[in-house]
Amino acid sequence: MATTPMDKELDVKGLNCPLPILRAKKALADMASGELLRVVATDPGSVKDFAAFCKQTGNALLSSDDNGKEFSFVISKR
């Protein structure tokens, strides 16, 4: 299975709301339109937080994965 390379990776494991969103917002500010950001978090609330964040900001949430311990999100900058 081919994987798409990420333009930026963000590790926010161990951080709770609102820090994962704030760090992602800062990372996206430095990125160009269409670039991909992968975020890895451990806060269960991040699933709803990132869905709401992307809806509000117009960035596309391309994937959201949960392996039981970590949550992984791929966001495309608008």
- Decide the pairing of beta strands 71-76 and 36-41: antiparallel
To the query of whether residue 54 is one of the catalytic residues in this protein, the response is no
Marked catalytic residue, from 6, 17, 19, 40 = 17
Rounded Cα–Cα distance for residues 1 and 41 (Å): 24
Catalytic residue numbers read 17
